[in-house]
Structure 1
Amino acid sequence: MEERGWRPRWWLFAVFAVVATVHLAGGGWDSTTAVGLPVGFAATLVLVFVRRLPNWVTGEWDSRPWSRSWVRASRNRTIVALPFALLGVVAVLIGLADHPPHGTDVLYAAFVAALAVGLVVVLVVRWGRAVRTLRLLAGPRTALPARFDDGSRETGTVTFPDGARAYFTLHDPPRELIREIEHAATLHVTSAAPGKVLAGQPGGDEFARATLRVARATRTPSRSSLKRRLRLRTVAFAAVVAAGVALEGAAVVLVGGALPWVLAAPILLAVGATALWRARVARAVRLLAAGPWTSITAATMATDVDGPVSGWVVFPDGLRGRFHIEYCPPDVAAELLRRRRLWVAGAPRPGDVAVGLPEGDTFAIAWLAVTDRRARRLDHPRF
């Protein structure tokens, strides 16, 4: 199995934010906060960015392949823990009924009640997933022709019974499953359809969670609807910003205290998420508006473009390069295969560009890179 690259433990920042929010909501800014928050933030930085820490500190344990016995044990543990979680919810409700909260105590009571109910929801979801997993493993399997990508033991391609080709990603696959794909070129799955499935040998104990996906050219919207989408997302972004400013202002004027600081985090998160949502369409609009369509010579070794496509291009100044299109529309693929050319919006340049047909309505985002050695003398960036 490939060794995955280490990543910082970003989720610990969320834990620090929750703890700080609870403390500020309870006691406000005092001497304890002035000392504790900087120290806690420094400790959080260590936990996030220091790679080699004991497992009992970070809670990170070596992942093991899934097995039926492990899922069955997880289901049993959830069944045992669920009654105690329900008793906790009942205790919270009884306490709220006997001693109704007033004023700012309502926020604290709501927070505790949300934690109690959330624990029950998490346990119920885990129990449901375990039961569903065991039912899927007890059902039939479908054998699909499969092969790994070069140098990978987690990603590759499969062929569905109807002949359609798809791409799979295995999550923590056991050794038996890896050997089956390498030697028998077969992947047994619980469902021969795009989506999340379970993969493993029939009758075996270990399995892996897999994702099957079919690349479709319809992932990108049409050029005619792109500006309309951008306007709608711009209006939504402005509405979120206005609502956030109004809510924060009302909290400062009407309530005060620590509540504005508590509301600032979700408001900023909503604004940032909406901005990213809008930026995806704005980027495509900007690439399409780069200039008039320019034709460049291009070729690919693929004979049937039904997913990601890569190949070679020749820039107008004679430099050679490469291109990659993640989702290639049919008309762009036909132009590439038949006439060996790509139409680029604006001047062809290394980086992300929009490709399509001047008279067409579909488009795709392509990546261009210069591979010619003469690029050094002509001040072209190397990729």
Structure 2
Amino acid sequence: MKPRWYFFAWFAVVAAVHLLVEGWTDTTAIGLPVGFAATLALVFVRRLPWWVTGEERPSRRVRLRRRSRVRWRLAARTAAVWTAAALAVGAEAAAIVFDGGWLPLLVPVPGLLVVLGLAGWRSELAEIAQCLNGRWTEVAAAAFDVRPGEPVDGWAVLPGAHRIKFHLAAAPADVAAELAGRRRMWLAGWPSEHLVIGLPDGDGYAVGELGVHRRDRKNTVPAGRAAR
């Protein structure tokens, strides 16, 4: 934690105003040392209630930072969908006005495919954002040779004692530390269609792939997605 230096500025301002208005009094002689001691505590003591320092809780800050970032990416994908739809409609209108014939019947096909593809692209991020806004589930997990930013393959035990094999194309640093040090990982919004992994108080996340471990079937894991 960095010292909260700004409390020294507040103390200096309050002390200066008091001395200008009241001058040096017996109250000042007692109040200034007490106030300075309290200021030292506010500056250097690490764990103080948020309602004392006026700061947001660190976990809330990182969650808000991650949620803003995801919201902007979702807004960008939404804009791409609507832009593609508008261009498709404009191309169809132009084909009707300037050409006629078969062209107006052919133009909507590629436009519709592009819009549907972008809509699916947006929907995937929307589901991930919903997971990140949901509850977090801690599960036991293990992996060998875990390195930040590199692919990870390992095993985890989901709620209900379901053992699964998971794959991350690239593990964020905090996720890698949890796997290597504490042999656990945190699932966002579980159960969900996506395997969204991160930390409740972390700033990043990763979307992995999983396969259910069954005795009568071979466990296969598709290629994973890159960490966000």
TM-score, structure 2 length as denominator?
A: 0.57
3-state SS in 2 of match to 1:296: strand
Long gaps (5+) in structure 1: 1-221, 377-381
1:335 aligns to 2:174 (yes or no):
no
Contact 1:312–1:323 (8 Å) recurs in 2: yes
Q: In structure 2, do the counterparts of structure 1 residues 298 and 259 end up closer, same or farther at CA, with 3 Å as the change threshold?
A: same
Match of 1:27 in 2: none
Match of 2:210 in 1: 368
Match of 2:138 in 1: 295
Count residues in correspondence.
155
1:324 aligns to 2:171 (yes or no):
no
3-state SS in 2 of match to 1:354: strand
Structure-2 separation of matches of 1:348 and 1:297: 16
Structure-2 separation of matches of 1:359 and 1:286: 17
Structure-2 separation of matches of 1:253 and 1:306: 53
Q: Deviation of residue 269 (structure 1)?
A: 4.2
Match of 2:152 in 1: 309
2:183 is matched by which residue type in structure 1? R
Contact 2:78–2:122 (8 Å) recurs in 1: yes
Q: Deviation of residue 260 (structure 1)?
A: 1.1
Structure-2 separation of matches of 1:275 and 1:321: 30
Match of 1:251 in 2: 95
1:263 is matched by which residue type in structure 2? V
Q: Give aligned-pair identity as a percent.
A: 42
Correspondence for 1:240 among 68, 74, 84: 84
Correspondence for 1:353 among 166, 186, 195: 195
Q: Which has the higher contact order (CA 8 A, sep 6+)?
A: 2
Q: In structure 2, do the counterparts of structure 1 residues 265 and 320 end up closer, same or farther at CA, with 3 Å as the change threshold?
A: closer
TM-superposition CA deviations, 1:121-149 (whole Å, max 9, x none): xxxxxxxxxxxxxxxxxxxxxxxxxxxxx
Q: In structure 2, do the counterparts of structure 1 residues 272 and 348 end up closer, same or farther at CA, with 3 Å as the change threshold?
A: closer
Q: In structure 2, do the counterparts of structure 1 residues 261 and 225 end up closer, same or farther at CA, with 3 Å as the change threshold?
A: same
RMSD in angstroms over aligned alpha carbons? 3.0
Match of 1:108 in 2: none
Q: In structure 2, do the counterparts of structure 1 residues 322 and 266 end up closer, same or farther at CA, with 3 Å as the change threshold?
A: closer
TM-superposition CA deviations, 1:203-252 (whole Å, max 9, x none): xxxxxxxxxxxxxxxxxxx5431111111221221122123123313422
Structure-2 separation of matches of 1:346 and 1:279: 16
Please, which moves more after superposition, 260-269 or 324-333?
A: 260-269
1:358 is matched by which residue type in structure 2? P
Match of 1:229 in 2: 73
Match of 2:128 in 1: 284
Q: In structure 2, do the counterparts of structure 1 residues 322 and 334 end up closer, same or farther at CA, with 3 Å as the change threshold?
A: same
Q: Deviation of residue 277 (structure 1)?
A: 4.0
Correspondence for 1:271 among 107, 115, 133: 115
Residues 113-124 of structure 1 correspond to what in structure 2 (within 5 A)? Answer: none
Structure-2 separation of matches of 1:346 and 1:284: 9
